[in-house]
Amino acid sequence: MIADPILEVTGLRTVFFTSAGLVRAVEDVSFTLRRGEVLAVVGESGCGKSITALSLMRLVPSPPGRIVAGSVRLEGRDLLAISEPEMRAVRGNLMSMIFQEPMTSLNPVLTIGEQIAEAVRLHRDVTKAQAWERAVEMLRRVRIPEPAQRAKEYPHQLSGGMRQRAMIAIALACDPKVLIADEPTTALDVTIQAQILDLVLQLQQESGTSVLLITHDLGVVAETAQRVVVMYAGRKIEEASVEDLFERPMHPYTHGLMRSIPHLAALSGAVAERLQEIPGMVPALSNLPSGCAFAARCGHADAACTAGVPPLVERRPDHFVACWHAGALS
Amino acid sequence: MTPVLHVEDLKKHYPVKSGFLRRTTGTVFAVDGVSFSIAPGETLGLVGESGCGKSTVARTVMRLVEPTSGKIMVEGTDIARLPKAALRPFRREMQMVFQDPFSSLNPRMSAGDIVREPLLVHNVATGREADDRVAALFAQVGLRPAQMGNFPHQFSGGQRQRISIARALALNPRLIVADEPVSALDVSIQAQVINLLMDLQRDQGLAYLFIAHDLAVVEHISHKVAVMYLGRIVEYADKASLYRTPQHPYTEALLSAVPVPDPKLKRRKRLLEGDVPSPMRPPPGCAFHTRCPYAEARCKVEAPVLRELAPGHVAACHLR
């Protein structure tokens, strides 16, 4: 049993029916987000991390996509079993999401104040004036200078960093229990990224919101999350605390990822060595090999790896890994 | 040794036109007085945030956009003002690799034809000779010559970037200008392309102007690094010197902002306030003073010049 879960995802399976065939975007993914923690889901493009996030919000475009199995329990209530009107009362209220590209997720013809107030009026019984007041207060909370003025501006009048702050203000306007952040800083410059991550962590501590952070950046993971789920080709292949994962990655893919990124040598004191490559590339989700999806790129693969999908096993306390050879490797 | 490329006081200003009559109402100072040199076999990393002018430097050096003023010396000749025809022999010396391997390859040409095209355009080889050369280039960048007939959409992002590199290598250039060549690629593929670029440099003595926003990647691949802010170089030094002892407050802040993939390393971040100002209205004095934690009165009025603070290490800051 996991202490104090807020969001429990069990056996989630999302598929897309495409002309290229059935695409298994999310395959039997389970994890638990604990109250007040930051859980990172990390992986490369096409690993299913964003579709996992969209599935939790029930925002998978359908058709072609469909959630075919699993449950998503928010404080015990299965979000996959409730009606669409009930789900609408959850989105933006109990559970909110921020996206990578704030310019495409904000409405260009409404001021940002109106967009925050809209979210508030949708879920709270308040007057227009009260909703506006809340909007200005939210802009202040996300550290936007002159919030009363900025509330009257349109998205195009704001810089990229300010827009992402406005997105966060909308997402947090109703004090959600869970915030899903899908690559929230990927489109931003490094100094702005640092500001936004710092802001998300401060707000998370102020409000006690639990955060599910979707990212491809191991640096962002190390600096913000307490626990990490690693995904590859639609499946969860490893889960551990952030310290444990970086110190003792057990899946050959996780290990390979960490060796393949250049580190700032001046900080770590490391000598710049040749980067370790992971040979080959991510397999197409419409044409997955049998057995372990990483086998073709893995230096430890043998007959067992192509014969069957390795189950997720707890190899050390709270450290789960799906690899036939994880025991021998660690 | 004569540098492969020597750039002096390069400027690129874009007029801003608005209104019905398209009157010029302002100027974007995209590149505003940039100087650097690249020796044979050396990599100069050019870093900075979006809008700092690093891509404009690349395009201006390649003469893909016309410089407003300044010198671009290639093997002792200033190519900044050369007419198109006279420029052609110099194009063989410098080739470019772009960020997006999806939009920089013609989707209607086979990979082999894409790599062959520079050979034909410059009358280097035709027929069987060209085929052999293309096959050799494919092998060199880690593609199978059997894939020459495939079209760009049949390749992954990393493979497409290999095609771009093969095309750039076709004319045996001495310098490759690479504008964010790995930032569109996945982490596990980035390492493959970085290693390829470094192997090619070791084997052929290529020089690179390597433009990127990822400071860890730049540190890994570069010998020297220049940091740009609002159209100007604010710091320029050997890699080790710049990363270990950054002199400009902006470099310091950039390095501090990089997320480090090591949870045990709990650094105190020095966060910068605010955003990069518009290059249409760069702040007076030191352009960085609006975000600088150490700014003093003189920073707001007097523009600092690049000064040598240690051997080979220059920075533009009044306070150092």
Of B219, B265, B275, nearest to A192 by CB-CB distance is B275
Please enumerate in sequence order all residues whose Cβ is within 8 A of that of A227, keeping only pairs 6 or more positions apart, or say none.
Answer: A34, A37, A38, A39, A40, A239, A240, A241, A242
pLDDT tier at A329, thresholds 50, 70, 90:
low
pLDDT exceeds cutoff 70 at A266 = no
Average per-residue pLDDT in chain A? Answer: 90
Chains A, B: CB contacts within 8 A come to: 135
Using pLDDT thresholds of 50, 70 and 90, give the confidence band for residue A71: very high
Q: With an 8 Å Cβ cutoff, are B269 and A198 in contact?
A: yes
Q: Is residue A255 part of a domain?
A: no
Chain A CB within 8 Å of residue B191 CB: yes
Spatial neighbors of A321 by CB under 8 A, at least 6 apart, are: A237, A238, A239, A250, A251, A312, A313, A315
What's residue B166's pLDDT? 95
Report which of B158, B179, B99 is spatially closest to residue A281, judged by C-alpha positions. B158
- By C-alpha distance, the chain A residue nearest B216 is A264
8 Å CB contact between B243 and B254 = no
Interval B115-155: pLDDT, tens: 999 999 998 888 899 999 999 999 999 998 889 999 999 88
CATH at A79: 3.40.50.300
Amino acid letter at A80? Answer: L
Whether B187 sits inside 8 A of A242 (CB atoms) is: no
CA pseudo-torsion sign A98, A101, A104, A108: positive
Domain that holds residue A39: 5-94+176-241
Beta bridge partners of B212: B47
Residue B1 pLDDT grade (very low, low, confident, very high; cuts 50, 70, 90): confident
CA nearest A264 in B: which residue?
Answer: B216
Distance from CA of A229 to the nearest CA of B (A): 15
Residue A253 lies in a domain: no
**Interface contact flag, A44 B188, Cβ < 8 Å:** yes
B277 in contact with A, Cβ within 8 Å: no
A115, part of any domain: no
Given a cut of 90, whether residue A309 has pLDDT beyond it is: yes
| Beta carbons of A272 and B220 less than 8 Å apart | yes
Please give the pLDDT value at position A1: 45
Domain tally for chain A?
1
Find residues 213-252 of chain B whose CB sits inside 8 Å of chain A. 213, 215-217, 219-220, 240, 243-244
Tell how strand B224-229 and strand B232-238 pair up: antiparallel
Rounded Cα gap, residues B100 and B164, in angstroms: 10
A61 lies in some domain: yes
How large is the average pLDDT for residues B16-20? Answer: 83
* pLDDT, mean over chain B: 91
- Bigger pLDDT: A153 or B276? A153
Is the pLDDT assigned to residue B52 strictly greater than 80?
A: yes
Sheet with strand B94-97: strands edge to edge: B94-97, B175-179, B207-212, B43-47, B224-229, B232-238, B313-315, B307-310
Compute the radius of gyration of chain B from its Cα atoms.
21
Burial class (CB in 10 A: 0-12, 13-18, 19+), B17: exposed
A287 alpha carbon, distance to own chain's centre: 25
* A166 occurs within a structural domain: no
What's residue A117's pLDDT?
95
Chain A, 66 to 95: residues with Cβ < 8 Å from chain B are none
Residue A18 within any structural domain of the chain: yes
pLDDT surpasses 90 at A143? no
Tokens of A14: 């999302």
Query: Is residue A161 pLDDT above 50, yes or no?
Result: yes
| pLDDT over 90 at A21, yes or no | no
Residue B320 has pLDDT above 90, yes or no: no
pLDDT 10s digits, B184-236: 888 888 898 999 999 999 999 999 999 998 899 999 999 999 999 999 999 99
Q: Is A151 exposed, middle or buried (0-12, 13-18, 19+ CB in 10 A)?
A: buried
Interface probe with B: pick from A186, A190, A253, most Cβ of B within 10 Å: A190
- Least confident range from B16-20, B267-271, B294-298: namely B267-271
A195/B195 CB distance under 8 A: no
SS3 per residue for chain B: CCCCEEEEEEEEEEEEEECCCCEEEEEEEEEEEEEEEECCCCEEEEECCCCCCHHHHHHHHCCCCCCCEEEEEECCEECCCCCHHHHHHHHCCEEEECCCCCCCCCCCCCHHHHHHHHHHHCCCCCHHHHHHHHHHHHHHCCCCHHHHHCCHHHCCHHHHHHHHHHHHHCCCCCEEEEECCCCCCCHHHHHHHHHHHHHHHHHHCCEEEEEECCHHHHHHHCCEEEEEECCEEEEEEEHHHHHHCCCCHHHHHHHHHCCCCCCCCCCCCCCCCCCCCCCCCCCCCCCCCCCCCCCCHHHHCCCCCCEEEECCEEECCCCC
Range scoring the smallest mean pLDDT among A9-18, A95-104, B33-42: A95-104
Interface of A with B in 186-225 (CB under 8 A): 189-195, 197-198, 216-223
- The topology (CATH level 3) of B5-93+207-315 is Rossmann fold (3.40.50)
Confidence label for A271 from pLDDT (cuts 50, 70 and 90): low
Res A267: pLDDT:
56
- Element (H or E) spanning A237, and its range? strand A235-241
Q: Which of A205-214, B76-85, B184-193 has the lowest mean pLDDT?
A: B184-193
